[in-house]
Amino acid sequence: MSFGFKTSWLAVRDAGPEELADALDLRHRQRIDWETGTELAYRQGVFVARPVPEWTLAHGRFHLTHGTDAAHPDFPSWLQALAARVGDLQYFHTERVTDYHAWAKVESGELTRAYCYIGMSGEVPLRRGEPTAIERELGVGLVGWEEVRQDWGEAEWDAWHDAMPTERQVMRIAADWSVCPPMIEDGSVTGPGILGFPPGVEPVRPF
Report the Cα–Cα distance between both ends of the chain, in Å, rounded: 16
**Gyration radius from the chain CA atoms:** 17
Annotate 21-55 with b (16+ C-beta within 10 A) or e (fewer).
bbbbebeebeebebeebbebbbebbbbbbbbbeeb
Provide the pLDDT for residue 1.
58
206 preceded by cis ω (within 30°)?
yes
**What pLDDT digit, counting tens, does each position of 5-57 carry?**
999 999 999 899 999 999 999 999 999 999 999 999 999 999 999 999 899 99
In this prediction the pTM is: 0.94
User: If pLDDT is split at 50, 70 and 90, which confidence band does 104 have?
Assistant: very high
**What pLDDT digit, counting tens, does each position of 147-205 carry?**
777 778 888 888 878 888 999 999 999 999 999 999 998 888 988 999 999 999 999 87
Distance, CA of 197 to CA of 46 (rounded, Å): 6
Provide the pLDDT for residue 8.
96
The better pLDDT of the pair 53, 89 is held by 89
